[in-house]
Amino acid sequence: KSHFFIMLGKLCRCVPHSIPITNNYTRFFATSFADKEVSINRLSGDDEGIVLLTMNRPKAYNALGKTFVSEFLSAIDELQSDALTKSRVVIVNSAVEKAFCTGADLKERKSMKSTE
């Protein structure tokens, strides 16, 4: 999975930052954007078919913790099974200004059991 995130990081650096973000959110994983670590934004109009998968865990610079990974995988599952949208492109981006993703959450990992 680490190669997956490395490739996503390289891909997102190539995407222009001028892609307009609309407020046409279709579905979230919590009650408000601040509560979610991962959210889905389906663009509309001329950009229909483009989906922004936004990572938002600023305190940990989008480190991969249990909740983050769970929400990320749920978002991917939702996009794969979503019959209402014909997603052509999924862009993974970061709402955290200083980082895309810093890797495993080592603080959380330290408190886990070896089987986790």
Other beta carbons within 10 Å of 110 = 7
pLDDT > 50? residue 45: yes
Q: Based on the number of CB atoms within 10 Å of its own CB, is 41 exposed (0-12), middle (13-18) or buried (19 or more)? A: buried
Q: What is the pLDDT of residues 12-26, one digit of tens each?
A: 444 444 444 444 444
Answering whether pTM is above 0.75, one says no
Q: What is the model's pLDDT at position 88?
A: 80
